[in-house]
Amino acid sequence: MMDRRAFMTSLAVAGLGLAGKSGPALADATEMRRRALDFQVGLPERPWLLGWQTMDAPTCAAEPGEISLEGRIPADLKGSLLRNGPGGHEVFGHRYRHWFDGDGLVHRFRLADGQVHHDGRIIDTPKWRAEQAAVAPLFDTFDTDVDGLSFNSTPDSINPANINIIRHAGRLLALWEGGSAAELDPQTLAFRSFVTLSPKTRGLPFSAHPRLDRDGTLWSFGHAGYAGKIVLYRVRPDGTLHTAHLIDATATPLVHDFMITERHVIFILTPWRYDRKAKGTFLERYDWRPEDGGQALVVDKDDPTSQRIIDLPPFWTYHFGNAWEDRSGIIRFDHCGYADPSATTSDFRQVMRGEQPTGGHGASYRLAQIDPRRGSFSEEVMIDGPGAEFPRVHPDRMGQRTDHAVILLADPDAGAEHPHFTTTAMVDRESGRIDAFVHGPTEIAEEAVFVPTTGANDNAGWVLQTVLDFKDARTRLKIFDARDIASGPVAVATLPYAVPLGLHGNFVKG
């Protein structure tokens, strides 16, 4: 089990920056207002920036009579597609510096009886409520230092709950990765409370990318690269904490996602590392050091003290699809790999200023393998960019072999009037076949979600895809037969408004 006192001491020593200001210069109100003006100036020339415009109101809703429906909703597709991401990019005219800074916007498409309902809201976390009351930004974020940070701030007092949303053990959870999971009301989507799994883990970081094992166990982690630590959580199917184990990560890497197999938990420790001497925002304190190379950390599920480290070449990855072990013990996985993290450090700042991203930072879709016994690593590129992201697989086969994955592609030859994701593709990793659909030239595609149906194949089901049409200022939900993406959607539901682009989502049945 974890020694929380030792861990919290290590956070303090590392200078997390939550107990007071650090760095020579803070972003004042004038800079944030200037950024908001620059964004509005850039919007007419680059109308696709609509995806990064802040939510007009705290809530939105549309009933079936207000939603245009083409085709038919599959009869066996009943439940809700929930999505989350930064949607509050400005606080009373003060615009954040980075896409990942904004307050969480959770919204859902409810599918039942052939109809579609939609609702959403900015998550009313304690941070959001305090800033609404003050009529001003108060707290530091991922990449914006705000003059006014309370000296009594804790991770959850600045938690925007803005990356992912899942349901586990009957609770609807909005996830960040610097603090606790936020429980939402399943009816209204309003904030209820931060989840405390145990007194020892109160307020500690909890990943936005947990992995659900086939027995209902939820595996997660808390990244604290600034302290050289990773907290590994094992949460029982009933939502209670089984164990929380502290793992040393002395190289202080930034870790966003991880993987599980039948027997192991795998972390890819890239050379994007925390510099304890650096000043500035949280993001600015991370330094890309490719000369150091990376590592794969393989941890035994039943005995987290049993660990193996395999050296890797330098690369950055946001998201993994799935991992599994073959009979010889070799771990195979898929991911979207970047040469470096410059998409985060440049592109996602540029769009917030209303600028065209410089580009050249796209990922390739890769198939990799680790041999823990020999300490070897190899990989092959299946789709050579220029932009591949958000791999998703059959959710009930996490940690087991899967041959299919749904991914997004940013194809510059697709005829799009924007530089973002254009194409949804089902990839057969065994045969190499790619079944793809290109969206309209003014539609920006978001992460697709795979909803399985009864069947032996791991591509039997439906793919749910949201897109933002910036020309019509509308958000659409497209539903595809997962075995025939190229034929186009079997149903399209168009909202009477546009929802800012988000990050992640999941389907909740029922």
3-state SS record for 105-162: EEEEEEEECCEEEEEEEECCCHHHHHHHHHCCCCCCCCCCCECCCCCCCCHHHCCCCC
Task: Tell me the three state secondary structure of residue 458.
Answer: coil
Cα 69 to Cα 114: distance, rounded to the nearest angstrom? 10
| Residue 11 DSSP symbol | H
C-alpha 332 chain-centroid distance: 22
Q: How many CB atoms lie within 10 A of CB 40?
A: 12
Sequence letter at residue 219: W
Query: What are the pLDDT tens digits along the chain (510 aa)?
Result: 555 554 554 443 343 444 334 333 345 678 999 999 999 999 999 999 999 999 989 999 999 999 999 999 999 999 999 999 999 999 999 999 999 999 999 999 999 999 999 999 999 999 999 999 999 999 889 999 887 554 456 889 999 999 999 999 999 999 999 999 999 999 999 999 999 999 999 999 999 999 999 999 999 999 888 888 999 999 999 999 999 999 998 888 999 999 999 999 999 999 999 998 998 899 999 999 999 999 999 999 999 999 999 999 999 999 999 999 999 999 999 999 999 999 999 999 999 999 999 866 689 999 999 999 999 999 999 999 778 999 999 999 999 999 999 999 999 889 999 999 999 999 999 999 999 999 999 999 999 999 999 877 899 999 999 999 999 999 999 999 999 999 999 999 999 999 999 999 999 998
Q: Is residue 236 classed exposed, middle or buried when 0-12, 13-18 and 19+ CB atoms within 10 A define those classes?
A: middle
Distance of alpha carbon 469 from alpha carbon 50, whole angstroms:
9
pLDDT (0 to 100) of residue 168: 98
> What is the rounded distance in angstroms from the CA atom of residue 219 to the CA atom of residue 493?
34
pLDDT at position 109: 98
pLDDT, residue 251, reads 84
DSSP 254-318: -----EE-SSEEEEEE-SEEE-TT--SSTGGGEEE-GGG-EEEEEEESS-TT-EEEEEE---EEE
Burial class (CB in 10 A: 0-12, 13-18, 19+), 3: exposed
**Exposed (0-12), middle (13-18) or buried (19+): which is 91, by Cβ within 10 Å?**
buried
Q: Choose among 322, 332, 251: nearest CA to 291.
A: 251
Using an 8 Å Cβ cutoff, are 86 and 52 in contact? no
Cα angle vertex 59, ends 53, 65, to 5°?
Answer: 105
Domains contained in the chain, CATH given: 4-499 (2.130.10.10)
Whole-angstrom distance, CA of residue 172 vs CA of residue 239? 11
Contacts of 78 (CB under 8 A, 6+ apart): 111, 112, 509, 510
CB 400, CB 214: distance < 8 Å:
yes
Looking only at the bridges linking them, the beta strands covering 474-481 and 491-494 are antiparallel
Residue of 138, 135, 159 lying closest to 149 (CA atoms):
138
The per-residue pLDDT for 5 is: 52
If you count them, how many residues does the chain have?
Answer: 510
Find all residues with CB under 8 Å of 436, minimum gap 6, and list them: 409, 423, 424, 425, 426, 485, 486
Q: What is the DSSP letter of 345?
A: I
Distance between CA atoms of residues 100 and 89, nearest Å? 9
Tell me how far the alpha carbon of residue 401 is from its chain's centroid: 23
Q: Locate tokens 């795998």: which residue?
A: 266
SS3 label, residue 501: coil
Query: CA torsion 152→156→160→164, rounded to 10°?
Result: 160
Q: Which pLDDT belongs to residue 148?
A: 52
Interior angle at CA 302, CA 298 and CA 307, nearest 5: 25
As given in the structure block, the two tokens for residue 486 are: 């190229």
